[in-house]
Amino acid sequence: MGKRYFGTDGIRGQVGKFPITPDFMLKLGWAAGKVFAREGYSKILIGKDTRISGYMFESALEAGLSAAGVDVLLTGPMPTPAIAYLTRTFQANAGIVISASHNPFGDNGIKFFSAEGTKLPDEIEHAIEAQMDLVMTTVDSGMLGKASRIADAAGRYIEFCKATVPLGFNLQGLKIVLDCANGATYHVSPQVLRELGANVIEIASSPDGLNINESCGATSPQRLQKSVVAEAADLGIALDGDGDRVIMVDENGEVVDGDEILFIVTQHMKARGVLSGGVVGTLMSNFGLEQSLKKIGVPFVRANVGDRYVMEKLAEHDWVLGGESSGHVVCRHLTSTGDGTISALQALRAMRETGKSLAELKSGMQKMPQVMINVRMAKKVDVKSVAAIQDAVKSVEAELGSSGRVLLRPSGTEPLVRVMLEGENPEVIQTLCEELAQVVEKTLEALVSEE
């Protein structure tokens, strides 16, 4: 059974348009409260990023939860992974994050975490949606939920991040430019690095409710690249608006993406003899990551795009490292979800313990050139079931051999098929990608005209 509200990463949309409205959030808080209160006493933790609309939705959720008889713990602005951690430590029944991650301030959304700090199972999301269909009621006044603030939420999370590196580990002598995307990490991540001894230069760490992710952060690292070079810094770190993504910049101003960070952390853990199992990437992970891991004897599997699917595959194999090129890097042996600050610390640990720069560490992975062409569809078609398209794919795969790969991936939000090729020779894959895209386009047009 499909879901009406929950997507792969919670509920997200434009503020003021259903379902991202105060009345919906009031009902959602009540429905979630009713579901979790079925087991008896319940408390739920709420955090948010720095969007101006977060205050409005925080109040609505709090009211709904209280009406359901659920106690509420409020953290104020905190990174998404911090809410996962605090939900566990306060033994709450669930955690709620009000955030639209890397989206602009005009969007917002809701993510839920289970008591274990993981994404909610499907059956709980279905139960909440079913509860939404019922008439909202309020418990007796004496049973209303109470709300309180966690005064030391930031300090608790800072200590948790620092505890993911060994006792005595320090960053003294390192100059780091840190881009907080004017988001939820602005008051915690700089402190983590400073308390470990780094010289931290902050950019995009003055949120005003409207500037989150605006030409900054993990999705726009250009300002960070310029700052690293201008400051003659050792490296740069860019987080996204809710702090679960990280992109780094080496001392030369070159971007180090999620695939490269994942490789650096994996290689270092392998060298220390503490790597358990293999690595999970996604369908979009660079072929160079797969090849580089193979060279050092580390198994690699691909999940569907989305950190939820990476987590599922990690749990299935009982592995600890996974991630996406966009900067979602999961260190499952340290925390229950993707955490930009903790992932950056693991790359910094590799730097300190090997004595190598970030540029030297990332040079161990050779990224493959990648070409992607979007082919628009007049109607949704399962390209895997079209023989002419699959024959063309097989022909290109035969030409590439073991030195590249082909991916046809329908967009989840637009009527598009993404035709992607990776290989050693950029000119060759450009030509092959254009030829394959033409076959896909003409075949889809023919299918529509036949109807």
Residues identified as active-site = 101
3-state secondary structure of 91: coil
- In which residue are the tokens 């001894």 written? 197
Q: Where are the alpha helices (DSSP H) in 137-196?
A: 153-162, 189-195
For residue 176 the two structure tokens come to 């780091």
Sheet holding 175-179, edge to edge: 199-203, 175-179, 235-239, 246-249, 255-256
Question: At 123, which helix (H) or strand (E)?
Answer: helix 122-132
3-state secondary structure of 221: coil
Interatomic CA distance for residues 150 and 188, integer angstroms: 15
Question: At 273, which helix (H) or strand (E)?
Answer: none
Residue 418: HSE in the Cβ half-sphere, 13 Å Cα cutoff: 15
Interatomic CA distance for residues 143 and 95, integer angstroms: 21
Are the CB atoms for 295 and 275 separated by under 8 Å?
Answer: no
Angstrom CA distances, 192 to 3, 165, 227, 229, 346, stand at 39, 11, 20, 23, 13
Q: How many CB atoms lie within 10 A of CB 374?
A: 13
Are the CB atoms for 227 and 236 separated by under 8 Å?
Answer: yes
For residue 17 the two structure tokens come to 């348009």
Residue 268: HSE in the Cβ half-sphere, 13 Å Cα cutoff: 24
Buried b (16+ CB within 10 A) or exposed e, 293-313: beeeebebbbbebbbbbbbbb
Interatomic CA distance for residues 387 and 274, integer angstroms: 46
- In which residue are the tokens 């993707």 written? 338
Q: Dihedral of CA 195/197/199/204: which sign?
A: negative
